Amino acid sequence: MNRLATLAAVLTLGALPALAQTVPETRILRVVPNADLQTLDPINTTAGVVQSHAHMVYDQLFGRDAQQRPQPQMVERFETSADGLTWRFTLREGLAFHDGQPVTAEDVVASLRRWAARDPHGRQIAAITESLAAEADGRTVLWRLRRPYALMLDALSKPAGNMPAIMPARIAATDPFTNIQDTIGSGPFVFDRPGWIPGSRVVYRRNEAYRPRAEPASGTAGGKRVHVDRVEWLNIANAQTAALALMQNEVDFVETPGVDFLPQLRRRNIRIERINALGFQGMIRMNHLHPPFSDPRARQALIYLADQNEYLQAMFPDPSLYQVCHAFFVCGSPQETQAGVPQGIGRNMDRARQLIRESGYDGRPIVIMDPTDNPFMHAATLVLAQQLQQAGMRVDVQAMDFAAMATRRPNRRHPSEGGWDFGLTFWNGLGASDPVGNVPMQASCDRAWPGWPCDERHQALIDAFPYAASAEERTRILTELHESAYRVVPYLPFGQWFLPVAYSPRLSGVLGMPGIIIMWNIEKAAR
């Protein structure tokens, strides 16, 4: 098996262009991300691998430091009026896109308008926007609101979800529901389109014209100093192959190492580091458009049949890597609450069967998308299938890779016509803990994340959260929203876990940010 894994790694890594051979080894980073990159648009998807890609190529007005505090990034200075209705952002001098064109306030305005059409925070802000315009100096953006928005800087510094990436106005003019094809940004790396082989490899080159901020790098904030000339993302789906490649210095960084191989990696002095304090939340996402899960009783049945322990134990051999958590806004976050958690959650199969009968389920096969290239999500999917069968449902588990599942998710057709009933996924804890930024929590019907929950009362609570006048009111809204989530069931959490990254001892300067990987600030020593 080791010989086969080694051969697979050699074949994967051997398909490199001749250019790579002219770059010194210490100036190349080879990375195994958690999924294959198949989509390039950070506005049109919330997939983590796409957001990691976006941080390579694009910059934002604000970044988040290691303590999750918004900090100026492309912005040189900003101010807000005493009443909170007017925001003025002035760009740093010398910002330029990869094609050499200067970054202007018009580019920012066009990018923010496109982002606001898709992002939950952005839609809220757009709904109260009086005007968003570039000023005559070409570097200043003036944003006037009809009411204050307390989470403005949090929204503009989002590291994941629908990232507010700044791109040229001509590209930002693309319909927000259509994927962009041009990847010109102003970030620290340039996307090497000829080097991109979907399913195999993604290549980035250092942006020699990039001007980092003077501050030390921290999260996605501070100076994004690049110490390598080239970054290669390699799609190695097999966990053993990725671990072996890391131990043999064929790759430098693995975002999600197979948990079965962590002890072996440690023995080889590979650095195993937990860089995400809130971890990840597992989500059982059901399709709300079609029976039976268009009926809330069928969704509520999941509450009683889904025992989190069964999922987590199937996914991870080490209990220190996970915890049972029934809080939609994740355990350990300031928004953690147990309000509305039903008695008997995960332990009442009789109640689950009763709710399924009451929903009118007619015995048709339930289509479950199974991302077989992700070992722990595949294991969780098989647990869901077994639990649904125990509750009396027929299941149709359809194998695909994670990228294919992300591509299929937007399909609204009936499950028998290429649609779906279930797709398990996971969200970084930082994004899930944000009552507005938790995209799967939204119940905004056609505008909601695939699965398309639709509940006016539930959505009204989300929309009210940024306007709470006091901490007490914020807590009240949060409590009601959590209770509503167990009524509507936009999705169901199936646990919280804390996966480390693994990287070569030759690397230094590795930064952490929940939900994405960061490749600037990293230096690679000689062997």
Encode pLDDT of 124-179 as tens digits.
999 999 999 999 999 999 999 999 999 999 999 998 888 999 999 999 999 999 99
Helix (H) / strand (E) element for 3: namely helix 2-14
Global pTM value: 0.80
Q: What is the pLDDT along the chain (527 residues), one digit of tens a residue?
A: 444 444 344 344 444 444 445 889 999 999 999 889 988 999 988 888 999 999 999 999 999 999 889 999 999 999 999 999 999 999 999 999 999 999 999 999 999 999 999 998 999 999 999 999 999 999 999 999 999 999 999 999 998 888 999 999 999 999 999 999 899 999 999 999 999 999 899 999 999 999 999 999 999 999 999 999 999 999 998 989 999 999 999 999 999 898 889 999 999 999 999 888 889 999 999 999 999 999 999 999 999 999 999 999 999 989 999 999 999 999 999 899 999 999 999 999 999 999 999 999 999 999 999 999 888 899 999 999 999 999 999 999 999 998 899 889 999 999 999 999 999 999 989 889 999 989 999 999 998 999 999 999 999 999 999 998 888 999 999 999 999 999 999 999 999 999 899 999 999 999 988 878 999 999 999 98
User: Strand 280-286 and strand 230-234: pairing?
Assistant: unpaired
Per domain, the residue ranges of the chain are 2-58+180-258+501-524, 62-172, 280-497
Residue ranges of alpha helices (H) inside 25-129 are: 48-57, 105-116, 120-127
**Cα gap 63→218, rounded to integer Å:** 9
Report the CATH fold assignment for 62-172. Dipeptide-binding Protein; domain 1 (3.90.76)
At residue 415, φ and ψ (nearest 5 deg) are -55, -30
Integer angstrom CA distances of residue 145 from 10, 132, 350: 56, 9, 51
- Give me the pLDDT at residue 205, please: 97
Per-residue pLDDT at 48: 84
- The second-level CATH assignment, the architecture, of 280-497 is Roll (3.10)
Q: Which CATH number fits domain 2-58+180-258+501-524: 3.40.50.2000, 3.20.20.140, 3.40.190.10, 3.40.50.1110?
A: 3.40.190.10
Extract the tokens encoding 465: 């959260």
**Inter-residue contact 391 to 349 (CB < 8 Å):** yes
Spatial separation of the C-alpha atoms in residues 91 and 300, rounded to whole Å: 48
**pLDDT in the model for residue 21:** 54
DSSP, collapsed to helix, strand or coil, labels residue 398 as: strand
Please answer whether residues 90 and 78 qualify as being in contact, where contact means their C-beta atoms are separated by less than 8 angstroms: yes
Task: Return the closest-CA partner of residue 235 out of 378, 58, 53, 370.
Answer: 53
DSSP secondary structure letter of residue 478: H
